[in-house]
Chain A
Amino acid sequence: MNNLDIHVHYVTRVEGHGNLYARIRDGQLEECRWEIPEAPRFFEAMLVGRSFDEAPFVTSRICGICSIGHTLASIQGVENAIGFTPSPATLRMRKLLKHGETLQSHILHAYYLVAPDLVGAPSVVPLASTHKDVVLRAVRLHRLANEWCDLIGGRTTHPVRAMVGGWAKLPSADDLRLLRRRIVEAMPDVEATVQLFQSLTLPQFERDTEYLALQLPNEYAWYGGDIASTDGDVTPLSEYRRKTNEFIVPHSTAKRTRANRASYAVGALARVNVNYAHLTPLARQAAEALGIKPVTCKPFFNTAAQVVEVAHVMEDSLRLIDEILDQGIGEEGWSVQVRPGTGVGGVEVPRGTLYHEYTIDADGHITRANLIIPTNQNHQNIEEDLKALVPTLLDKSKEEITLTMEMLVRSYDPCISCSTHLLDVEFV
């Protein structure tokens, strides 16, 4: 392939770009770009002047897929700003809610977006007839996840019960026992999911990469912790800007980030790489079966890492529920004293580390907000991956090169924009 131009334009439905671009001349990759729009900056402006306790509800609307993650990062950031320490019972319930969202998102991504690529189908729809049992398994697992999020958060998405300071409403012990039973019943579906991805072949493309994820001393970190790099350094959450180093590139409206190198990656693979020692036994088995051990630098394996995390959150939730039932569900209601200050929240959402930072004045009003979503942290890494990947594909057809580039982008499941789903229709 001597000369080739690849230009994939995504319909992003908000202003900005969503483009994949490669220019090959005389058999050499001359240019490769990943262009993307950004939404959260609007929310930062929207938050200024609002009361501290509104932030979780406003930011939950940033994303329909990570709404629980935004809610929890917001709560944590606000609580750190005003100097409030939540009870262990509250923290356990937040982690349980978080696990529900991880299951929800990972199942949707692995089964509906990635699996079709791996079996050569154009989308998940044809799989509904050729592999109906597989797709129905995905529906069962994500129905469980929806109900789980509803049970704890009060809604499937955009939770309403988790508040700064505690919980507006808590599930009963019977609710939790029911959830536990449903998780146990769904374990064969988790094992079948691991087997399915074990039977599919992910591209082996490899590029030495720095991965960042939250880290805690005795657990696989999802909620709070320090920022650990696979390069070996650890940074306190409050100093997150030292790692994220935001910068702007001319061809994209979204800010980008870099830490020790030209780029870094966050997400399921980053977490498994950083927190491998804390995987549950079932998740550890899944990682071994799927060929992941630290540090795995194969970007397409992010989906395999999601499957590992599905096993992890299911098994870990059984432990959490037992602990909650044993130690007490906690109390409904909240009472917080506002102390002016600045605080950072860090939560591992399905696509990687999400940061929410707030400055709050003595009246409890937000005077400044800074949100850094995982996708913005991955943009530069996606582009660096593409620059290394495309030269390995030059003997392939344009269609194959384009599909492989798209599959790479898809493996990160970027938040291009979940901002609008306006239906554009005609009448038949």
Chain B
Amino acid sequence: MRASAASKAAAVHTLILGVGNEALRDEGIGVHVARALAPRDLPEGVQVRDGGTLGYALLGELEGVERLVLVDAMEMHLSPATIVSARLEELRCLTPPDRTSLHGTGLFDALELARALGLLPGDVRIVGVQPAEIGWGFELSPALKRALPAVLDAVLAAALAPH
């Protein structure tokens, strides 16, 4: 539908989805990336969305998407602000699933269901950033603020890389 943006949305083949909670400082890096990329002129068919804490709602976003680039804070036990660009199949999630509440639904739960339904794009990339500070607050830590331009470069590189 997305009627107002219907013409633009018609042929989205690459979706950049920034996810996370921007109220928890570095946890919201994906949201900051989505916001920084939104005003940019991206090539046709490449769309950026701020996914927030969308969980299973991700499944409704994948129609027609061939390449999904997820941007999120990741606990990789590396030094703060380290950026890692990987394909989904190169990562294993260590957070156990929590089915008590929709609020416990994580990105990997949604990706697993999308795969089981055959809705997962063939090409899923994750740009993960090692957070420096997680805690209440809307501002990124100084380390991640400094790293933001490099994160944007990594995201665009993942989105625009040849197939």
Contact = CB atoms under 8 A, between A and B. Distances in A.
Contact of B90 (A156, A410, A427): A427
Contact of A423 (B113, B128, B138): B128
A46 B136 contact: yes
B21 A421 contact: yes
B132 interface: no
Interface residues on A, range: 35 or more
Interface stretch (A139-147, A216-224, A280-288, A385-393): A139-147
Contacts of A46: 136, 138
B97 interface: yes
Interface string A406-428: 10011001111111111111111
A158 B1 CA distance: 18
A205 interface: no
A108 interface: yes
Contacts of B54: 64, 156-157
Interface in A113-142: 113, 116, 123-126, 128-129, 132, 135-136, 139, 142
Contacts, number: 209
A280 B21 CA distance: 36
A337 B131 CA distance: 42
Contact of B96 (A11, A129, A157, A409): A11
A62 B92 CA distance: 28
Contacts of A422: 20, 27, 72-75, 131, 134
Contacts of B76: 425-427
The SS class assigned to the A binding surface is helix
B50 A158 contact: yes
B98 A42 contact: no
A171 interface: yes
A78 to B, nearest CB: 19
B48 to A, nearest CB: 12
A419 B56 contact: no
B121 interface: no
Interface string B40-66: 000000000111111111011101000
Interface stretch (A174-182, A195-203, A225-233, A248-256): A174-182
A270 interface: no
B73 to A, nearest CB: 5
Given A43-B23, A142-B60, A158-B50, A423 B74 contact: yes
A420 B133 CA distance: 13
Given A157-B52, A158-B52, A416 B101 contact: yes
A175 B119 contact: no
Contacts of A303: none
B107 interface: yes
Contact of A421 (B1, B63, B106): B106
B103 A104 contact: no
A421 B136 contact: no
Given A104-B57, A143-B63, A156-B57, A424 B95 contact: yes
B3 A178 contact: yes
A14 B3 CA distance: 38
The 8 A-B residue pairs whose C-beta atoms are closest, nearest first, are A64-B53, A128-B116, A143-B60, A418-B103, A147-B1, A175-B3, A146-B60, A42-B136
8 contacts: A10-B98, A112-B113, A113-B101, A139-B117, A157-B54, A413-B103, A425-B128, A427-B92
